[in-house]
Amino acid sequence: MKKLCGFFLVLFLSAVGQEEIRVKSIVKEVTVYLQQASLKHRTANFNIPQGQQTIVVENVAISVIPPTIQVRGKGNFVILSTQFRKNYIQVKTISKQIAQLEDSLEYLKNKKAVIDIQINTLDNEEQMILANKSIGGNNTGVTAAELEKVANFYRNRLNEIRTKKNELLPKVTKYQDQIQKLQNQLSELNVQKNKPVGEIIVNVYANTSVNNAELEIEYICNNASWHPQYEIRSNDLSKPLNVLLKAEVVQNTGIDWNNVELTLSTSNPLLNNNKPVLSPWWLEYYVPNVYSKHKKSRYPNAAAPTVAYHEGDAKYSETELQKEEADNLYEYTQVSEKSISQEYNISLPVSIESNSKPARVDINNFEMSSNYLYYAAPKLSDYAYLIAQITDWSKYNLLPATAFIFIENAFVGTSEINPDITKDTLEISMGIDKNISIKREIIKKYNEKKILGNTRKETRGYEISIKNKKKNAVKMIIEDQIPLSSLQEIEVELIESQNASYDKTTGKLQWILDLAPNEEKKVQFKFSVKYPKDKVISNW
């Protein structure tokens, strides 16, 4: 007991009057999750005097989640405790780029100020000359020779002044434009300049002085995320699609990630991992409220699915890095599948600044076999849409994301990839093809209105014309619809559909057509609606 009391007494006495040991750290590894990021730091070597010491590790994120801090040390000392704090006094150091911009701005302002002084002097001289135009006194005249001499002076000097001003004014405008650009750039960079810095306090105890100690720190922080994007390219409809998976990484952690080992993960480390528990479901009688207040609806957040893409390990050598044709970063990305997530490990160092601006990283590239057809819904649009149908899509482990579509190296628009479907075929809309013309018209001879006793019967018919103006044959799906009735007194009847497949539950009509080059086909459909004659259908 006496030894234990003595140990704590030593700790207490050594803590009195001690100074903090400030140590800089460097970010070595970063794992970016869908919402947060895990950062691993390593400190420079430092010395620890004997006794209890407080180590302040600098250059950590300002959005650290304290319970996730892990500290490991190298050296003969004991780690007692850790703590996170924000330092509002020792703000982030001005970067070299900001210092250079400020120097350039000061130089341009000085150059502009010199010209402003010259122009101001010329203005004053011009005003002085113009203010002293009277020649001689009220009772004294001037000779012709004197008048000519004065006139020549006014003309020559004013001409010199105004010519010089015309030479100087464009320089002022040029300097002002350059100054404005530098000020705009500085305003953007200075947003980060005066923010607080993050620090992790590590209390340690050393029995003897320790030389060349080192700390490794790992934690999870906010203000970092990534989400996937696809580039889908098709240069030949007879060949597979080329798919490039990009990661859009955003971070505003307060520190720049310079030459870090970057890993992108589809998991969410702070997701509630407790399994749901069903409570008893008690039935009660409904009691209506006399009045009700507006209530905010609350919806549980759904966890994003985790998917993966398997590919061989990407390896590189010095000779490969010296190729004439530039490599892509996805060639140096290794994909690994965890039990509940997917990770993309990039073997080349990556740098991402802390500025909330998206940094796009290529992480995977592969080909998808697909069948192509065209789709049109003439009731909604007169355009034909190219659709890529992928039957074995599950093996590619696609992520839910926006896809940027390129056909023959031309950007045609965006589409959405939704792998959360249960269908065997995944359809990706590849954009509009204006070489297929579509027209939908009412067939006037089919339009009839009749009153039969207490009922009114209306008949309508439509014709859809499709022309393939392409040089190759195409397969086409045309969809239209007839209305559905939710009331017994309203009766809807399909009279003619011209061999279309008909879904009674949705009212949808579908034709599958094969069109040769420059071929035109037409399809028609006709339906009737019967309802009480004293009623009016609102959405007819």
Q: What is the DSSP string of 402-435?
A: EEEEEETTEEEEEEEE-TT--SSSEEEEEEEETT
**Co-location of 260 and 317 in the same domain:** yes
- Classify residue 498: in a domain, yes or no: yes
**Co-location of 67 and 169 in the same domain:** no
Cα(530)–Cα(489) distance, rounded to whole angstroms? 8
Indicate the helix (H) or strand (E) that contains 107.
helix 96-131
Helix (H, G, I), strand (E, B) or coil at 383: coil
Convert the pLDDT of each residue in 110-135 to its tens digit: 988 988 898 888 888 788 777 766 65
- Classify residue 412: in a domain, yes or no: yes
State yes or no: pLDDT of 503 exceeds 70: yes
Can you give the pLDDT at residue 12? 42
Percent share of the chain, pLDDT over 70:
79
Which residue, 446, 427, 433, 416, is CA-closest to 381? 433
Give the chain's domain count: 4
- Classify residue 390: in a domain, yes or no: no
Return the minimum-mean-pLDDT range out of 7-11, 81-85, 287-291, 330-334: 7-11
What's the rounded mean pLDDT across residues 269-287? Answer: 71
pTM (whole model) above 0.95: no
Residue found under tokens 């892990």: 70
**Co-location of 488 and 414 in the same domain:** no
Convert the pLDDT of each residue in 318-329 to its tens digit: 444 444 555 666
| More reliable by pLDDT, 428 or 26 | 26
Which residues form the domain of 245?
224-268+306-370+397-424
Can you give the pLDDT at residue 448? 85
| More reliable by pLDDT, 289 or 32 | 32
Cα(218)–Cα(51) distance, rounded to whole angstroms? 25
**Co-location of 66 and 127 in the same domain:** no
Cα(51)–Cα(59) distance, rounded to whole angstroms? 25
Can you give the pLDDT at residue 410? 85
**Co-location of 456 and 506 in the same domain:** yes
pLDDT bracket for residue 9 (50, 70, 90): very low
What's the rounded mean pLDDT across residues 279-301? Answer: 55
**Co-location of 167 and 206 in the same domain:** no
Which of 16-20, 246-250, 271-275, 293-297 shows the highest mean pLDDT?
246-250
Q: In whole angstroms, how far apart are CA 277 and each of 96, 284, 285, 305, 456?
A: 55, 21, 25, 21, 56
**Co-location of 26 and 108 in the same domain:** no
pLDDT bracket for residue 513 (50, 70, 90): very high
What's the rounded mean pLDDT across residues 257-280? Answer: 82
Task: Read off the DSSP letter of residue 330.
Answer: G
- Classify residue 140: in a domain, yes or no: no
pLDDT bracket for residue 5 (50, 70, 90): very low
Contact (CB, 8 A) for 387 and 368? no
Tokens representing 132 are 């002293």
**Co-location of 229 and 336 in the same domain:** yes
Mean predicted lDDT score pLDDT of the chain: 81
Angular region, 356: left φ>0, alpha ψ -120 to 50, beta rest: left
CA dihedral in degrees (135, 136, 140, 142; nearest 10)? -60
State yes or no: pLDDT of 260 exceeds 90: yes
Convert the pLDDT of each residue in 180-215 to its tens digit: 888 888 877 676 666 788 999 999 999 999 999 999
Helix (H, G, I), strand (E, B) or coil at 212: strand
- Classify residue 540: in a domain, yes or no: no
Cα(16)–Cα(389) distance, rounded to whole angstroms? 73
Which residue, 43, 4, 5, is CA-closest to 22? 43
State yes or no: pLDDT of 456 exceeds 50: yes
Beta bridge partners of 373: 387
- Classify residue 183: in a domain, yes or no: yes
**Co-location of 106 and 216 in the same domain:** no
CATH code of the domain in which 484 resides: 2.60.40
**Co-location of 471 and 498 in the same domain:** yes
**Co-location of 238 and 323 in the same domain:** yes
Return the minimum-mean-pLDDT range out of 42-56, 131-145, 406-420, 476-490: 131-145
Convert the pLDDT of each residue in 56-84 to its tens digit: 999 999 999 999 999 999 999 999 999 99
| More reliable by pLDDT, 159 or 272 | 159
Q: In sequence order, which residues have a C-beta less than 8 Å from that of residue 431 and are 6 or more positions away? A: 385, 386, 405, 407, 412, 413, 415
Indicate the helix (H) or strand (E) that contains 15.
helix 2-15
pLDDT bracket for residue 515 (50, 70, 90): very high
**Co-location of 451 and 402 in the same domain:** no
- Classify residue 280: in a domain, yes or no: no
What's the rounded mean pLDDT across residues 476-500? Answer: 91
Can you give the pLDDT at residue 143? 66
| More reliable by pLDDT, 147 or 311 | 147
Can you give the pLDDT at residue 147? 66
CA gyration radius for the chain?
A: 38
Return the minimum-mean-pLDDT range out of 39-43, 173-177, 270-274, 369-373: 270-274
State yes or no: pLDDT of 99 exceeds 90: no
Beta bridge partners of 512: 477
Residue 135 phi, psi dihedral angles, 5° rounding: -110, 125
Can you give the pLDDT at residue 282? 73
Neighbours of 158 (CB within 10 A): 14
| More reliable by pLDDT, 529 or 339 | 529
Return the minimum-mean-pLDDT range out of 281-290, 442-451, 457-466: 281-290
State yes or no: pLDDT of 306 exceeds 50: no
- Classify residue 380: in a domain, yes or no: no
State yes or no: pLDDT of 146 exceeds 70: no
